[in-house]
């Protein structure tokens, strides 16, 4: 091709265009045509190779895409499995522990949490179980102590009610430092004493004396409760109750009169018969609590002194009453005049024997009966 091109070039330089053209047509053109055909064949081969390569590339791409999708699915599955594993080892144990703690906070100390973990969560679960057990033991102990305290409190309340009137005990519990001192405008006082108790007690053992007084005075306590009276105190074989203390009540004199008549009935049938002297009086008085140790509720005043004198200046088996008592009970009870007697610290006083309820007294309400000896 270079030689042909050189010869054609020389002819063109010598301006022999016709010869140059002939060489080009006869010599160069066939060669060019062959080269063109060869180049086209080569291009076709290359196109075929490229098509094959593209097909292979497409297959490779599709395979790669499928592999990527498969890998993504595997990754998602692994993620789910990992999440499930994490839930099983972390989230679920935490939830179980949380539910157990809520139950413990609600007072259920018998619940336990089961966590298979051997890590910090497992240690936490074991600590929660140990705490629940310990709290249950402490709660049971506290409940037992609370029951004991409730029993002791009830015993203390009963003892306090035995020592003091209920209203007075309530006031002292509200303010233990306060001074209890009440003015009572009208209170009825009853004093009773066992006649001949000293020679009787001389023939008894200490246990027999205590049992005798406890038995008789316990019956008197029941009578006082039945008639709405307040037992004030016992001194030896003397017994004192009041109506209208520590709080006012309706018809206090009637209450002590009923109490006195019932006491005589009880005494006559108690342990072969007991003679008691009873004195009644009514009027104003002062009541309060004395002391800080062994608290004592008592009543003072002339009314109390006169009632005591009515008993001590009385006669066995009889109820001696003053004029205020007789005046308030007139028309409902029978009285026998005793006349005027001298009362220590008071002077001469007119007194009466309470004979009984009207309708039950008969002739005794009109004339004095013979004293019992």
Q: Are residues 244 and 224 in the same domain?
A: yes
pLDDT for the residue numbered 40: 67
Q: At 206, list the tokens.
A: 């200490």
What does the chain come to in residues? 373
- pLDDT tens column, 173-209: 888 778 888 899 999 999 999 999 999 999 999 999 9
Q: Of 163, 188, 204, which residue constitutes the final position of a domain? A: 163
pLDDT for the residue numbered 18: 74
| Alpha carbons within 13 A on the beta-carbon side of 116 | 5
CA 144, distance to chain mean position in Å, is 14
Q: Rounded to an integer, what distance in angstroms lies between the CA atom of residue 110 and that of residue 72?
A: 48
- pLDDT tens column, 100-146: 888 888 888 888 887 777 677 777 878 888 888 888 888 888 888 88
Least confident of 1-10, 258-267, 285-294, 300-309: 1-10
Helix (H) or strand (E) holding 299: strand 296-300
Q: Rounded to an integer, what distance in angstroms lies between the CA atom of residue 332 and that of residue 354?
A: 11
Q: Are residues 182 and 206 in the same domain?
A: yes
pLDDT for the residue numbered 371: 40
pLDDT for the residue numbered 366: 41
- pLDDT tens column, 19-62: 867 776 677 667 766 766 776 677 677 777 777 776 776 676 67
Q: Are residues 176 and 158 in the same domain?
A: no
Give, rounded to a whole angstrom, the gap between the first and last alpha carbons of the chain: 183
Residue 274 lies in a domain: yes
Mean pLDDT for the stretch of residues 73-85: 56
Q: Rounded to an integer, what distance in angstroms lies between the CA atom of residue 357 and that of residue 60?
A: 130
Residue 308 lies in a domain: yes
Q: Are residues 208 and 309 in the same domain?
A: yes
Q: What is the mean pLDDT of the chain?
A: 82
Of residues 55 and 64, more confidently modeled? 55
Omega before residue 145 within 30° of 0, cis: no
pLDDT for the residue numbered 267: 93
Measuring CA to CA, which residue among 195, 194, 191 is closest to residue 279?
Answer: 191
Residue 370 predicted with pLDDT over 60: no
Instruction: Identify whether the C-beta of residue 240 lies closer than 8 Å to the C-beta of residue 259.
Output: no
Q: Are residues 263 and 115 in the same domain?
A: no
Q: Rounded to an integer, what distance in angstroms lies between the CA atom of residue 80 and that of residue 99?
A: 25
**How many structural domains are present in the chain?**
2
Q: Of 129, 163, 197, which residue constitutes the final position of a domain? A: 163
Would you tell me how many other CB atoms lie within 10 Å of the CB of residue 62?
10
Q: Of 104, 132, 163, which residue constitutes the final position of a domain? A: 163
The CATH number of the domain where 344 resides is what?
3.30.70.1230
Burial 176-188, CB ≥16 within 10 A → b, else e: eeeebebebebbb
Residue ranges making up the domain that contains 37: 1-163
DSSP letter string over 31-60? HHHHHHHHHHHHHHHHHHHHHHHHHHHHHH
Q: At 294, list the tokens.
A: 């062994």
How many degrees, rounded to 5, is the angle at CA 98 between CA 97 and CA 99?
90
Express as a percent the part of the chain with pLDDT over 90.
40
Q: Are residues 223 and 348 in the same domain?
A: yes
| Alpha carbons within 13 A on the beta-carbon side of 255 | 25
HEC per residue, 216-236: HHHHHHHHHHHCCCEEEEEEC
Mean pLDDT for the stretch of residues 307-313: 95
């Amino acid at each position: 091709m270079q030689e042909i091109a050189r010869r054609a070039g020389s002819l063109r330089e010598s301006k022999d265009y016709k010869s140059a053209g002939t060489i080009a047509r006869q010599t160069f053109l066939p060669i060019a045509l062959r080269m063109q055909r060869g180049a086209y064949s080569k291009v076709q081969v290359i196109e075929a190779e490229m098509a094959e390569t593209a097909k292979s590339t497409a297959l490779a791409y599709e395979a790669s895409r499928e592999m990527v999708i498969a890998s993504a699915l595997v990754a998602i599955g692994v993620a789910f499995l990992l999440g499930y594993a994490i839930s099983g080892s972390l989230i679920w144990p935490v939830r179980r522990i949380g539910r157990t703690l809520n139950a413990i906070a609600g007072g259920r100390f018998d619940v336990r949490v089961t966590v298979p973990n051997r890590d910090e969560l497992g240690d936490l679960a074991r600590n929660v179980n140990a705490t629940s057990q310990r709290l249950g033991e402490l709660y049971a102990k506290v409940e037992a102590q609370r029951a004991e305290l409730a029993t002791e409190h009830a015993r203390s309340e009963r003892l306090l009610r035995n020592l003091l009137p209920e209203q007075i005990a309530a006031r002292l519990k509200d303010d233990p430092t306060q001074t209890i001192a009440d003015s009572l405008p009208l209170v009825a006082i009853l004093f009773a004493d066992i006649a001949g108790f000293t020679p009787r007690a001389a023939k008894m053992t200490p246990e027999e004396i205590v049992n005798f007084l406890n038995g008789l005075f316990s019956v008197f306590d029941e009578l006082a409760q039945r008639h709405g009276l307040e037992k004030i105190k016992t001194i030896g074989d003397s017994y004192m109750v009041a109506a209208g203390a520590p709080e006012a009540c309706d018809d206090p004199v009637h209450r002590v009169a009923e109490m006195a008549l019932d006491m005589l009935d009880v005494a006559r049938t108690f342990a072969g018969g007991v003679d008691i002297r009873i004195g009644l009086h009514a009027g104003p008085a002062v009541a309060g609590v004395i002391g800080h140790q062994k608290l004592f509720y008592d009543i003072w005043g002339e009314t109390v002194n006169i009632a005591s004198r009515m008993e001590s200046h009385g006669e066995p088996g009889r109820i001696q009453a003053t004029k205020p008592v007789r005046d308030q009970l007139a028309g409902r009870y029978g009285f026998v005049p005793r006349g005027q007697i001298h009362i220590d610290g008071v002077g001469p006083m007119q007194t009466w024997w309470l004979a009984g309820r009207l309708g039950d007294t008969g002739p005794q309400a009109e004339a004095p009966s013979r004293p019992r000896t």
